[in-house]
Amino acid sequence: MSLMARLAGSGRGMLKFFKEVRMELKRVVWPNRHQTLVYTAVVLAAVAFVTVLLYVVDTAVGYLFRWLLGV
């Protein structure tokens, strides 16, 4: 198969792929504004909680090692 024939075939394949992607995106049920705000708030709260938790654990382990090493 020549290079031009392969390139032409791959172009049709890509076109088909993008058409299928577009059809699939039409079937997606997107969240409404309220759901998006709630999900964003939950994620931000979880990130804040984990940040504080890691800070507390890191500080406690630091104090423990300084106490054990007598520094």
Pair 35, 6 in one domain: no
Query: Is the pLDDT assigned to residue 35 strictly greater than 80?
Result: yes
**Taking the mean position of all CA atoms in its chain, how far away is CA 50?**
17
- Percent of the chain at pLDDT exceeding 70: 86
Residue 69 and residue 49 in one domain: yes
Q: Is the pLDDT of residue 25 over 90?
A: yes
Are both 67 and 38 inside the same structural domain? yes
| Confidence at 6, pLDDT banded by 50, 70, 90 | low
Identify whether residues 25 and 37 lie together within a single domain: no
Q: Which domain holds residue 9?
A: 1-30
Q: Verify that 66 and 37 share a domain, yes or no.
A: yes
Verdict on whether the full-model pTM lies above 0.85: no
In this structure, the answer to whether residues 43 and 61 fall within a common structural domain is: yes
